[in-house]
């Protein structure tokens, strides 16, 4: 039990990176890196007691440097998609990098938080690592000097707590998430079609042909997006519903049934062969359910495993995508001097 620090290799600039291994009294193990404040591995027991890594990822920092799929990454200053790659605050329009389709922005890249080497503090008594950095004014195009931290804590109840905290000196956008791909059968062990998922959401936000919300909030009832009762991921993932076809599966924001800032259980995943179950708790108002539809074929992951389409699923807690362009969506604008304070928990059984 404790926290171990080891080398995670060098990025092309020659800067060294670190890997932090947190282990609780149950033997559950969490690995995170200061490169991208990335979640690298999650070792949890199955029904036979054997520990298995259930998070897709890579062996060292070299592959994370070329991480097109954002595996395990901390995404910010604003996650998900922004139509037209711009945001207007107090009448001033700020231009963002156009890194998707030549006109939209995805995950605040190409210079996102997932590609930064963060400062860190280790708290061995609480099995936690705090990553922190100053995101300077106009980094990624966003206004304000944003002092941000991301803290990973492994509890004795087999929870991974991710706490985001930040303050900006100007009004800005703050909408961060973790982009881990989970496969409860074990990373590299087939696809997630037999996983069963429950999401506490009566509605979702439909997308256009560039995967950006249209502004509509649509009830899930009678659609493939109804996960209010736990069901197999593969049951309707190839349905001919227009929204499924547009995303080649699930890649949509779900409108959670919760009050703003309330920490609540919002989703659950069960894998019948291993018996593993994962709960998701969050203070966020939305969650992006993504079934790895665009994982490139033949990606080499940890332990000589190979990833394919739908090798993992993501539950990315968030404000709704493109919320800055839809007044009916909860606002991701953070007022100057106020705290951005968000918590997400992945709990394993």
Strands (E), 222-330: 231-232, 251-256, 264-271, 276-282, 286-290, 299-300, 306-307, 314-318
Report the half-sphere exposure of 1 (CA within 13 A, side-chain side): 10
What is the rounded CA–CA span in Å between residue 31 and residue 42?
Answer: 7
Q: Which of 70, 65, 72 is nearest to 12 (CA)?
A: 65
Q: What is the rounded CA–CA span in Å between residue 190 and residue 311? A: 6
Q: What distance in Å separates the CA atoms of residue 74 and residue 66, rounded to the nearest whole number?
A: 15
Q: In angstroms, what CA-CA distances link 130 with 95, 133, 163, 348?
A: 30, 10, 9, 21
Q: What number of residues does the chain have?
A: 349
Cβ-Cβ contacts under 8 Å for 343 (sequence gap 6 or more)? 161, 162, 163, 164, 263, 281, 282, 283
Of 196, 271, 316, 326, the catalytic one is: 316
Burial code of 302-327, b = ≥16 C-beta within 10 A, e = fewer?
A: beebebeebbbbbbbbbbbbbbbbbe
| 300, 105, 331, 255: CA torsion to nearest 10 | -50
Query: Beta partners for 342?
Result: 164
Bridge partners (DSSP) of residue 18 are 7
Q: Is-catalytic flag, 316?
A: yes
Annotated catalytic residue, options 31, 107, 139, 179: 179
Rg (alpha carbons) of the chain, rounded to whole number? 19
Asked if 179 is an active-site residue, the reply is yes
Specify the DSSP class assigned to residue 191. Answer: -
Q: Are 142 and 95 in contact (CB under 8 A)?
A: no
Q: Which residues are catalytic?
A: 179, 316
């Amino acid at each position: 039990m404790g926290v171990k620090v080891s080398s995670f290799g060098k990025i092309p600039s020659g800067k060294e990176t670190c890997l932090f291994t947190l282990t609780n009294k149950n033997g559950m193990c969490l690995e995170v890196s200061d490169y991208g404040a990335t979640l690298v591995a999650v070792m949890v027991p199955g029904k036979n007691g054997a520990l298995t890594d259930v998070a897709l990822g890579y062996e060292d920092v070299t592959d994370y440097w070329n991480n097109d799929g954002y595996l395990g990454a901390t995404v910010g200053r604003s996650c998900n998609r922004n139509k037209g790659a711009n945001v207007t605050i107090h009448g001033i329009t700020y231009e963002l990098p156009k890194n998707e389709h030549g006109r939209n922005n995805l995950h605040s890249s190409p210079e996102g938080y997932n590609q930064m080497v963060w400062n860190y503090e280790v708290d061995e008594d609480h099995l936690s690592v705090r990553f922190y950095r100053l995101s300077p004014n106009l980094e990624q195009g966003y206004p304000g000097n944003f002092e941000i931290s991301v803290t990973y804590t492994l509890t004795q109840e087999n929870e991974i707590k991710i706490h985001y905290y930040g303050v900006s000196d100007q009004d800005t956008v703050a909408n961060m998430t973790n982009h881990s791909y989970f496969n409860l059968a074990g990373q590299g062990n087939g696809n997630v079609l037999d996983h069963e998922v429950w999401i506490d959401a009566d509605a979702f936000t439909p997308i256009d042909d560039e995967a950006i919300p249209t502004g509509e909030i649509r009830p899930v009832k009678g659609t493939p997006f109804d996960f209010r009762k736990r069901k197999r991921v593969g049951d309707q993932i190839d349905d001919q519903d227009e929204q499924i076809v547009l995303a080649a599966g699930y890649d949509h924001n779900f409108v959670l049934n919760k009050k703003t800032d309330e920490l609540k259980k919002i989703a659950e995943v069960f894998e019948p062969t291993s018996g593993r179950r994962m709960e998701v708790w969050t203070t966020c108002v939305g969650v992006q359910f993504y079934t790895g539809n665009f994982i490139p074929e033949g990606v080499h992951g940890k332990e000589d495993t190979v990833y394919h389409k739908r090798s993992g699923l993501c539950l990315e807690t968030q404000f709704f995508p493109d919320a800055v362009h839809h007044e009916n969506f909860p606002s991701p604008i953070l007022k100057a001097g106020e705290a951005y304070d968000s918590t997400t928990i992945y709990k394993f059984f």
